[in-house]
């Protein structure tokens, strides 16, 4: 650790201070990129570090950052805030063939605190993913096709929801973020592509061509649902 480096501070006071700095800056904050330690620690569970008004303002700001990026999810650590909070929304127009293969349906906006998920069934699917904290890269990730999400809503109520298809992928990706996990930790490393190569070669509805040409998931049954 360099002399100027500081460990990530998970104290309530530091979280509150960081949020206040972001809320009063008068501009949308930059998205933290891979290599920042805040992305590699389990964030602090929400237990009242922010008032209801502050939490609402932060959620609104995170939604704006997500839209500007643009993306379908954003976790508080991606703004340098070590707090278990994420916002999710998928309203993008997608080619019907792509949507059908990927099981992609619109996901209305919601915010989740202290999320955790567990698979529903044994079925997994593999598709390319990207991340706002890993600019310029895409990689194939195998994930459970359906999950059950437990979380707190911003009003403090405990919630449980089931998700499948692309919605389940978004939920898993953002929940992983607040637990210090990046999608590359779960990715097929031979599938990694920069955005230009992905767009030119592998942006088909499924990963079958990329799997064959790049030599990942060689067992066809491992990606049978992809």
As annotated, the active-site residues are 174
Helix (H, G, I), strand (E, B) or coil at 47: coil
3-state secondary structure of 128: strand
Give the closest residue to 23 by CA, choosing from 100, 96, 76, 74. 76
Contact assessment for residue 44 and residue 13, using Cβ atoms and an 8 Å cutoff: no
CA dist., res. 213 & res. 204, Å (int): 13
- Residue 38: name the closest of 75, 92, 88 by CA: 75
Name the packing angle between helices 12-23 and 52-68 (round to 10°). Answer: 60
Q: In sequence order, what are the beta bridge partners of 80?
A: none
What percent of the residues of the chain are helix, what percent strand, and what percent coil, each to the nearest 5? Answer: 35, 25, 40
Residue pair 43/77 in contact by the 8 Å Cβ criterion: yes
């Amino acid at each position: 650790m360099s002399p100027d480096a500081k460990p990530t501070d998970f104290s309530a006071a530091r979280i509150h201070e960081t949020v206040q700095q972001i809320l009063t800056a008068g501009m949308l904050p930059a998205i933290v990129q891979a290599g920042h330690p805040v992305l590699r620690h389990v964030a602090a569970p929400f237990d009242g570090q922010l008032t209801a008004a502050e939490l609402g303002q932060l959620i609104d700001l995170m939604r704006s950052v997500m839209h500007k990026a643009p993306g379908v999810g954003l976790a508080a650590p991606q703004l340098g805030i070590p707090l278990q909070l994420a916002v999710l929304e998928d309203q993008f127009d997608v080619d019907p063939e792509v949507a059908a293969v990927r099981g992609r349906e619109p996901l209305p906006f919601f915010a989740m605190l202290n999320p955790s998920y567990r698979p529903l069934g044994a079925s997994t699917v593999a598709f390319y993913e990207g991340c706002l904290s890993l600019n310029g890269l895409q990689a194939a990730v195998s994930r459970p096709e359906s999950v059950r999400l437990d979380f707190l809503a911003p009003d403090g109520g405990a919630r449980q929801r089931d998700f499948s298809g692309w919605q389940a992928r978004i939920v898993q990706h953002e929940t992983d973020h607040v637990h210090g996990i990046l999608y590359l930790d779960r990715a097929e490393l031979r599938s990694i592509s920069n955005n230009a190569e992905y767009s030119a070669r592998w942006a088909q509805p499924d990963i079958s061509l990329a799997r064959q040409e790049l030599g990942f998931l060689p067992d066809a049954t491992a990606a049978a649902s992809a």
